[in-house]
Each structure stands twice: as structure tokens, then as C-alpha cells.
């Protein structure tokens, strides 16, 4: 299963107001564990990218 940011936006847009993510995933036959794992990986990579950009900016400001 390929999961990207658009995938998560689609899930959020298609969720009914009364359904949580777990029940939505069961309804759509999505693997909730896989989705959570991919979301955590995406979040970690975003944080790493942000840290790299921040450290580059700080080093430029200090020099």
C-alpha cells in the first residue's frame, strides 16, 4: 500500500463526522496499523527535515 499526504487528506475528507479513524478504516478495509506506522514515519521525516533546515538557518545567522 502506498501512502502519502494526499492519502491522509482523503481519509480525513471522507470520514463521517460520527466515525473515528479506527471505524473508518474497518469500513474502508484499510490496515490501521500500517496507516499509523506510515504516519509516524512521515512525521519523523518531517521533523528531521525541519531540524536540518533550522540548524542551517541558525548557522547562517551566526556566521
Tell me the pLDDT tens digit for each residue of 18-48: 567 677 777 667 777 777 777 778 778 778 8
16 φ, ψ (degrees, to nearest 5):
-75, 155
Q: Contact, 50 vs 58, CB < 8 A?
A: no
52 pLDDT more than 80? yes
- The pLDDT assigned to 51 comes to 82
Q: Which three cell numbers stand for residue 24?
A: 473508518
Distance CA 38, CA 46 (A): 12
Rg, C-alpha atoms of the chain: 17
Q: Taking the model in full, what pTM does it have? A: 0.42
Listed by start position, the domains of the chain span 5-62
Mean of pLDDT values over 53-58: 83
- The pLDDT assigned to 40 comes to 77
3 pLDDT more than 60? no
- The pLDDT assigned to 1 comes to 47
In sequence order, what are the residues at sequence separation of 6 or more whose Cβ sits closer than 8 angstroms to the Cβ of residue 16? 24
Amino acid at each position: 500500500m502506498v501512502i502519502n499526504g494526499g492519502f491522509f487528506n482523503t481519509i480525513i475528507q471522507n470520514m463521517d463526522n460520527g466515525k473515528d479513524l479506527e471505524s473508518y478504516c474497518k469500513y474502508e478495509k484499510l490496515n490501521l496499523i500500517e496507516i499509523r506506522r506510515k504516519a509516524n514515519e512521515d512525521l519523523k521525516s518531517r521533523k528531521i527535515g525541519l531540524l536540518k533546515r533550522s540548524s542551517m538557518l541558525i548557522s547562517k545567522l551566526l556566521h
